[in-house]
Structure 1
């Protein structure tokens, strides 16, 4: 049994952020019905290319990532007949999940008060760009604007002197992080309702999630009254710790070392690079001496690591006590045996997808495929008790697809 078995989620949302919350809830066992516009569907379905990555016809990770395991109902909520269908689904739902802006929610009759009239016990969950309060609460946005740019990630990662700003590393980067936050908030609200009988309104924004991701840095900046400056392109890493930074291997790959106690780990590192005499070198005899001679240590390590391939270092550093990792791109991760051992990549029908990060009882979730547009419309309407004659009438009226 999955943690959210029996929980019904009604999702009225588009693009990546809020649907990814629904995808996480589906991973956890919830039944998620995705409402899509009867004609246009979720606009995310039209996203076919990101950078050099382009998909053709068939399963599209841009829609499957956030929508695995759901059922899709094509519905025109602006028509009275369509609104009737939505209202009946609301009455049966535990969670109403939406990304619609305040004006659209009010116009369509799906704001908190409207939904609570139909189902006083429903958890009402909203995902927004900039939060539910303040002068810009009615504005939309995407992860590039609200999460990445406005919440300081972009400026913090862009080296000084670089023209422009560094973009997010991939599509739906801030969306997926924010969606997981929203799924966690919904789970907490379900727990509270189970304990107290009180339903909650749950709010998560891209802006708030972006700030949370940068929280430690932002607090440091406010304390010291200065922003974080990104290191120059090609820099080693820490200016006072040679064991916290990047090193190139002979085959052009990189190792990432993060050993925040260099005095503790230095003897072990130099043994692994076949330079045991450096353990007794006065320049590196303590953390203070290592900090003072960081530049010299970095050059020694650069020369050593450049002598072997990443595969050779992976085997050789298997017994290293300090934390390190290979730097991997978005394709190389698929061959990582540790990732495979933990089932962080899973089959979902015709595609492999990244699993949502929470596992229960050391078990990976079972992922279902994303639904085709409106694929379960008839199935869902039949479950509501409608007969075929009424379903045909709704289709003819354009209320459902």
Structure 2
């Protein structure tokens, strides 16, 4: 078990007015790093993502793990506030006045209507780092429109087009796949803005959009398409068309798959041939050009080789080889990957009678992993936070009576 990570953002206060995964995931990363993240939720139902289990959209049981809440909301505190009430608005501004970061995915019309836009928050805290996570960016004709990562990243940014075979329906994105990458990106922007404020005293407005994230992730494809006039995407998994047979998927005897990823084929080819017990191939296919010209033939031969053994055998055989390869694992298997366990990338947490893993964000400091706790229940820390702000029990009761909290 690796040591627990230094809380590098200890003392940093984050006020999160956000829902779903993209922006709350940023709050989770900051909390992993030691920040005190207060999540504002609507009294009653809270974050609308909490309802996805009971609506069957998550394909689960309401009594089981609400994983789309747990992963992006671990290590936080939850405070219920009705921002449309005078008491709730006053409470939020008191929290903003003592916070270092204001984190939101509310669209500009809603922010202005409620009074939590940049100018409103800066009026009580001029140096706060104000962070906006959006679907399409802060400018342009669709800046006011919301979306989700499967639309703004997976589809609009071109990901689905390059991984789908021609004529097929686009491959469906895994749940929250790009939202979580976006949350990590926002957290990096916040860290840079906090450093800037430390040096200059100036609080910045930080913007990260799903569309911008998608274009960053797809930058190699976008640039090459425009540079070479490639108007139609080239599917990356077309069998027999890969220029390098050592960069391809191969099926094992037990129906599993291996991904070879040896870009420098001349460097790895001799060792690979000896490892799979085909040393004669070193001379028969002596260089990258020969392997390219005879790639269909060679891929067919490699198909036969890998189909001769089960995945477990190939793990042992390929284990000492220098060239990169990996088994195509299922999500269930990944949590027990020896490397994941050694680095505490998956950590078991307990919530009532439930036991389940949460996944750490990929950044570690001094080789140590953050300690994870489950996501809070709706409003779990409301009274605790109000007492910290100086509210009396009588004040809290009055806020509760008016529905402000």
Specify the TM-score bucket, using the shorter chain as the normaliser: over 0.9
* CA offset digits 1:275-298 (Å, max 9, x no partner): 1121122xx111111111111111
Q: Secondary structure at the match of 2:203?
A: coil
Question: What is the CA-CA distance between 1:369 and the residue it aligns to?
Answer: 1.2
Question: What is the CA-CA distance between 1:240 and the residue it aligns to?
Answer: 1.6
Q: Secondary structure at the match of 2:371?
A: coil
Q: Secondary structure at the match of 1:319?
A: coil
- Answering whether residue 202 of structure 2 is matched by residue 198 of structure 1, we say yes
Separation of aligned partners in 1, 2:71 and 2:79: 18
- Answering whether residue 402 of structure 2 is matched by residue 397 of structure 1, we say yes
1:90 alignment counterpart = 96
- Answering whether residue 278 of structure 2 is matched by residue 257 of structure 1, we say no
> Larger deviation: 41-50 or 13-22?
41-50
2:188 alignment counterpart = 184
- Answering whether residue 224 of structure 2 is matched by residue 220 of structure 1, we say yes
* CA offset digits 1:251-283 (Å, max 9, x no partner): 1100000111222212111111111121122xx
2:52 alignment counterpart = 47
1:20 alignment counterpart = 25
> Larger deviation: 36-45 or 65-74?
36-45
Is the 8 Å Cα contact of residues 101 and 128 (structure 2) preserved in structure 1? yes
Separation of aligned partners in 2, 1:306 and 1:133: 53
2:78 alignment counterpart = 72
Question: What is the CA-CA distance between 1:321 and the residue it aligns to?
Answer: 1.4
Q: Secondary structure at the match of 1:115?
A: helix
Separation of aligned partners in 2, 1:183 and 1:237: 41
Q: Secondary structure at the match of 1:120?
A: coil
Consecutive unaligned residues of structure 1, counting only runs of 5 or more, are: none
Q: Using structure 1 for the length normalisation, give the TM-score.
A: 0.95
Is the 8 Å Cα contact of residues 263 and 287 (structure 1) preserved in structure 2? yes
> Larger deviation: 107-116 or 326-335?
326-335
Q: Secondary structure at the match of 2:41?
A: strand
* CA offset digits 1:145-168 (Å, max 9, x no partner): 111111111222211111x31110
Aligned residues: 395
Where do residues 219-238 of structure 1 align in structure 2 (5 Å cutoff)? Answer: 219-227=223-231, 229-231=233-235, 235-236=238-239
Report 1 or 2 for greater relative contact order, CA contacts < 8 Å, sequence distance ≥ 6: 2
1:110 alignment counterpart = 116
Separation of aligned partners in 1, 2:56 and 2:156: 22
2:3 alignment counterpart = none
Is the 8 Å Cα contact of residues 159 and 229 (structure 1) preserved in structure 2? no
Question: What is the CA-CA distance between 1:55 and the residue it aligns to?
Answer: 3.3
- Answering whether residue 10 of structure 2 is matched by residue 9 of structure 1, we say no
Q: Using structure 2 for the length normalisation, give the TM-score.
A: 0.94
- Provide the alpha-carbon RMSD of the alignment: 1.5
2:271 alignment counterpart = 268
Please, which of 361, 380, 383 is the counterpart of residue 388 of structure 2? 383
Relative distance call for 1:50 and 1:213 in structure 2 (3 A) is farther
2:370 alignment counterpart = 365
Question: What is the CA-CA distance between 1:230 and the residue it aligns to?
Answer: 4.0
Q: Secondary structure at the match of 1:304?
A: helix
Consecutive unaligned residues of structure 2, counting only runs of 5 or more, are: 1-5
Separation of aligned partners in 2, 1:366 and 1:38: 28
